[in-house]
Amino acid sequence: MPDKSGYYMLNERDNFDIDADGFIYFMRDCDMAFICNPNNPTGRVVKRADLLKIAQAAHGLKCYLVVDEAFIDFLPENSVVAEVENNPYLIVLRSMTKFYALSGLRLGYGIFPPQITKIMQEYKQPWTVNTLAQRAAIAALNDTAYAEETFRVMLQEKQFMEDGFGRLGAQYIPASANYYLIKLDKAKSIIAALRDKGILVRDCSNFTGLDESYIRVAVKSHRDNTILLEELSKLCRG
């Protein structure tokens, strides 16, 4: 249920999953609602069928639904990009910086209903995506071998990470994306100790509904994942 600040609060006992019917109820008093799919920082995905149900309800309620699909390339079958054409209240945001590791180019885009596009063109900044970023994006989208290898590595390394969390006795949320929300005692001190070793993890204490015991870690190369788990093991034992 939404709280007074306008947030739709999720429950840890449900792995912080979004309930479609509950979210639709929440939208009744909204002009615009946002869903991050997969969710951040949990990595949980809203199945396409549930998201379409929410989008259809948003249309009926005349509430704009903004779906942030920054990490959807890890689960492309759940994207609702193709539905924007048929729903004037659906907006989808995409990013090239996650799956394709182009963060330095700050490259992203949106898919908007025509009436929204016209309004945005009137108010947007005069510059858009630069030529180098455009060329990099086209090259990335055409590199099917990279995508196939990424899926293979992610499947393998996610299992490695989950096995490591199990050995640590760390509570984690099973994730569909390339990151995990984990819960640790002394998380604040662990974050600082990892930083001193050049390992940056996400302090999640500033996410509404989470406390100082939560951190988000990324799934990276096998070497990097091994180093992270080894350091976490030392710190959790200490």
Domain boundaries along the sequence of the chain = 12-128, 144-237
Q: At what angle do helices 187-196 and 222-237 cross, to 10 degrees?
A: 130
Tokens for 141?
């989208």
pLDDT for 106 equals 83
pLDDT for 6 equals 79
- What is the tens place of the pLDDT at every residue in 41-76? 999 999 999 999 999 999 999 999 999 999 999 999
Going by CATH, does the domain composed of 12-128 fall within 3.40.640.10? yes
Least confident of 104-113, 171-180, 211-220, 222-231: 104-113
pLDDT for 148 equals 95
CA-CA distance, 121 to 142, in Å (whole number)?
A: 28
| 8 A C-beta contact, residue 18 and residue 10 | yes
pLDDT for 238 equals 66
pLDDT for 127 equals 79
CATH number corresponding to 144-237 = 3.90.1150.10
Q: What is the mean pLDDT of the chain?
A: 93
Burial of 175 (0-12, 13-18, 19+ CB in 10 A): buried
pLDDT for 71 equals 95
